[in-house]
Structure 1
Amino acid sequence: MSDSAERLPLLDPSSTPKEVHAALTRLPDINLFRAMAGATTLYPSFSEYMAKLFQDMELDAQTERLAVLLVGKLSDCHYVWRQNIVTAKSINISDEQIAAIERGELAASCFSPRQQAALTFTKDCVINIEVDDSVYDASTRELSSRMIAELLYVVGTYMMICRFARSGRVPLDKEPGPSPYVS
């Protein structure tokens, strides 16, 4: 992220309309969500959607969060990378797995075949937008069509979040916020 000053204001939850204030309480109180809440017409619905990403899906939480880390890495988005390491560790993703993603070693033995398939799919999706037929076909050996659909939601959402953080020059929080998985 650029060292330049932030471009989007960070809303103070106490001075927002009630529906935005309520939306800001659904997720951790971090600068990214406070900046995103500036779109007061969209943020309440978006926060509901984001909260759903932290609920049970057919795609398991570890595979989903590894994909999020990869999107952050490929998007060169330090904000998303740093925040999601906290979230990843809260669901027992290992330092070895985090380091492998950071190095781009998506076929490392620390990943299950399902995780490897999801990471390869994620990389192709981020880089090429449309996943290559061979990557898609290989993914179907480990991921159901529902899991692939859920993965596409996750990848697309975090591609948008990375662009929001970088283009809005959202400043890093002093410390990453807590994991939404921890209640």
Structure 2
Amino acid sequence: MMNGPYRLQRSRESQRPHPRNSRKNRNANIFRMMAHSPSYFEQYCRLGGAIRNKGELDPVVRELAITRTGILCEAPYEIVAHKRIGKNVGVTDEQNAALENWQSAKCFDEVQRAALAFADEIVKLPKPTDATFNAIASRLTPGALVELQLSVGFYIMTSKFLETFAIDLQPVTEVIS
């Protein structure tokens, strides 16, 4: 028996206590599905935690790029979740509203615009063009640039996972912040 429109039943493993569950509500729908593979689930959580909590990349730039990735991958779950996370780290309502057509918006600074162009090309092309790469590379440290690329790549994977398994949005009170 499946709850919701899932293509695969959520794992019963996710109902067991998990060290991360009590801390940040790791029973979100994506984690319930991912728990079918406990070893991958654990490593996924570790990398996701590093992306969101341990890097030098400006969190506003990170969340703008992640949300834009969700938009381009047509993953509503990611869009809603990361607009909320972005708001918590300083993304403005105007910026969140403008992400669909960021190129014509006036609310992004040079670094944010370069990061959004970089995210667009990572999602759409085999690799960013030299001009786009150089524009962001000239504005970030090497470490922050690596973090930006890994953040976008991680959330392409996450968006595709969400859409492949038709994982629905949980109520906003359950979205991990």
TM-score, normalising length: structure 2 = 0.87
* Alpha-carbon distance between aligned partners in 1 of 2:45 and 2:169, rounded to the nearest angstrom: 20
* Alpha-carbon distance between aligned partners in 2 of 1:178 and 1:171, rounded to the nearest angstrom: 11
* Alpha-carbon distance between aligned partners in 1 of 2:59 and 2:81, rounded to the nearest angstrom: 16
Q: Determine if the alignment matches structure 1 residue 108 to structure 2 residue 126.
A: no
User: Which is further off, 45-54 or 64-73?
Assistant: 45-54
Equivalent in 144, 149, 171 of residue 174 of structure 1 = 171
Cα displacement string for residues 29-54 of structure 1 (whole angstroms, at most 9, x for unaligned residues): 31112111221121112212211122
For the aligned residue pairs, the C-alpha RMSD in angstroms reads 2.1
Which residue number in structure 2 is paired with residue 80 of structure 1?
Answer: 78
Number of aligned residue pairs: 173
- Cα pair distance change 1:107/1:60, threshold 3 Å: farther
Which residue number in structure 2 is paired with residue 96 of structure 1?
Answer: 94
Cα displacement string for residues 108-145 of structure 1 (whole angstroms, at most 9, x for unaligned residues): 32112111111110101100031111111121221222
Residue 8 of structure 1 aligns to a residue whose secondary structure is coil
CA contact (8 A) 1:121 1:136 kept: yes
Structure 2 unaligned blocks of 5 or more: none
1:14 shift after superposition: 6.3
CA contact (8 A) 1:26 1:48 kept: no
1:168 shift after superposition: 0.6
1:34 counterpart letter in structure 2:
R
Query: Is the helix fraction higher in 1 or 2?
Result: 2
* Alpha-carbon distance between aligned partners in 1 of 2:51 and 2:64, rounded to the nearest angstrom: 13
1:59 shift after superposition: 0.8
Structure 1 unaligned blocks of 5 or more: none
Which residue number in structure 2 is paired with residue 117 of structure 1?
Answer: 114
Equivalent in 118, 141, 149 of residue 138 of structure 2 = 141
Which residue number in structure 1 is paired with residue 68 of structure 2?
Answer: 70
User: Which is further off, 161-170 or 144-153?
Assistant: 144-153
Percent of matched pairs sharing the same residue? 26
Which residue number in structure 1 is paired with residue 123 of structure 2?
Answer: 126
User: Which is further off, 72-81 or 38-47?
Assistant: 38-47
- Cα pair distance change 1:113/1:107, threshold 3 Å: farther
1:152 shift after superposition: 1.0
User: Which is further off, 159-168 or 108-117?
Assistant: 108-117
1:96 shift after superposition: 0.5
CA contact (8 A) 1:64 1:154 kept: yes
Q: Determine if the alignment matches structure 1 residue 161 to structure 2 residue 154.
A: no
2:48 counterpart letter in structure 1:
M
